């Protein structure tokens, strides 16, 4: 047996435990969910659950609500995180130092505690309303048990990680490149859109992908802060499964969410492959 074959067998032996764990934890549950979603109440294979998912008024409203909430949250997370990353990369002083020390704090706060903190802060009788009451402001816009509360929670959970990724990407851009662009007369907007953005868009795509998957599959904050109707798909799936005992519809909802994340992952991988091929040439 040649050395190359021995190394190949050793490599497969090292990878096999991880692959087996992946199959048991991820692939097998996905296959079971797909199989369950393709059955009707009598156990026969049917597309009844998917038909209900897309035609039922409540479930269709949940899908639209989830997609709208996810897109808005991802766009806001990206804009705020990119602004923070650019500010920390090209500015200095005590404000930047304070942001660097504090922006990672939300990562270390459990989602349940953060959600209850948001409720206590922005609820009808929360801290914010109490602070505004002496100024004659007796009512504030509804934030808790509304989509605005979920967006606020999504920003809290996703901005630190996204900012960390973008800060690392911007730190890799040499100052000499930016100074050279300034020397040839490039303005700030030209430098930003034609230099900084192209050099950091790969990391930006990674951040968008992770934010999208985390937000669309979120449960804790939407369950505690979100409205009763419409609901995000994660909360709706839990209610369909535990309250109404409609296992097939819950499985169809899970498969649909998996497809959405897979589509996002497909475009991410496809873009990365294209960029790698282009860089090789």
Residue 280 has pLDDT above 70, yes or no: no
Question: Within this chain, do residues 210 and 251 fall inside the same structural domain, yes or no?
Answer: yes
Phi and psi at 109, nearest 5°, equal -105, 125
Q: Which of 46, 41, 45, 66 is nearest to 247 (CA)?
A: 41
Question: Within this chain, do residues 150 and 31 fall inside the same structural domain, yes or no?
Answer: no
**Structural domain boundaries enclosing 240:** 50-280
Residues 6+ apart with CB under 8 A from 61: 229, 230
Q: Which of 87, 83, 85 is nearest to 75 (CA)?
A: 83
How would residue 235 be classed by pLDDT, with cut points 50, 70 and 90?
very high
- Beta-bridge mates of residue 215: none
247, 36 contact by CB (below 8 A): yes
Q: What's the rounded Cα separation, in Å, for the pair 69 and 125?
A: 26
Count other C-beta atoms under 10 Å from residue 251's C-beta.
22
Residue 138 has pLDDT above 80, yes or no: no
pLDDT per position as a tens digit, 153-197? 999 999 999 999 999 989 888 888 888 888 888 888 888 888 888
pLDDT per position as a tens digit, 148-163? 999 999 999 999 999 9
Would you say residue 194 lies in a domain? Answer: yes
Question: Within this chain, do residues 55 and 26 fall inside the same structural domain, yes or no?
Answer: no
Side-chain-side CA neighbours of 212 within 13 Å: the count stands at 21
Domain total in the chain: 2
Structure tokens at 255: 């498969």
225, 150 contact by CB (below 8 A): yes
DSSP state of 243: T
110, 149 contact by CB (below 8 A): no
Q: What is the CATH number of the domain that holds 150?
A: 1.10.3720.10
DSSP state of 208: H
Question: Within this chain, do residues 272 and 145 fall inside the same structural domain, yes or no?
Answer: yes
Question: Within this chain, do residues 188 and 237 fall inside the same structural domain, yes or no?
Answer: yes
In this prediction, residues 132-149 reach a mean pLDDT of: 85
The chain-wide mean pLDDT, for the chain, equals: 88
Structure tokens at 69: 């909430």
Q: What is the pTM of this model?
A: 0.87
Q: What is the pLDDT of residue 66?
A: 95
């Amino acid at each position: 047996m040649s050395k190359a074959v021995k190394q190949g067998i050793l490599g497969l032996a090292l990878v096999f435990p991880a692959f087996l764990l992946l199959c048991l934890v991820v692939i097998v549950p996905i296959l079971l969910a797909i199989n369950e979603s393709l059955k009707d109440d009598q156990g026969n294979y049917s597309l009844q659950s998917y038909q209900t998912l897309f035609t039922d008024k409540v479930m269709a409203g949940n899908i639209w609500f989830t997609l709208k909430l996810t897109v808005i949250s991802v766009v806001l997370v990206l804009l705020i995180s990119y602004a923070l990353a650019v500010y920390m990369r090209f500015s200095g002083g005590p404000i930047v130092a304070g942001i660097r020390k504090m922006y990672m704090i939300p990562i270390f706060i459990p989602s349940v505690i953060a959600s209850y903190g948001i409720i206590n802060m922005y609820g009808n009788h929360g801290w914010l309303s109490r602070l505004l009451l002496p100024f004659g402001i007796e009512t504030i816009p509804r934030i808790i048990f509304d989509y605005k509360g979920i967006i606020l929670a999504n920003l809290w959970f996703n901005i630190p990680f996204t900012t960390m990724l973008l800060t690392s990407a911007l730190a890799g851009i040499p100052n000499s490149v930016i100074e050279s662009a300034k020397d040839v007369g490039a303005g700030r907007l030209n430098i930003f859109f034609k230099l900084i953005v192209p050099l950091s868009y790969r990391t930006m795509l990674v951040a968008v992908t992770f934010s999208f998957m985390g937000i669309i599959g979120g449960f804790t904050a939407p369950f505690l802060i979100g409205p009763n109707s419409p609901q995000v798909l994660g909360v709706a799936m839990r209610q369909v499964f535990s309250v109404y005992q409609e296992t097939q519809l819950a499985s169809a909802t899970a498969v649909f969410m998996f497809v959405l994340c897979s589509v996002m992952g497909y475009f991410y991988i496809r873009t990365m492959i294209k960029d790698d091929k282009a860089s090789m040439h």
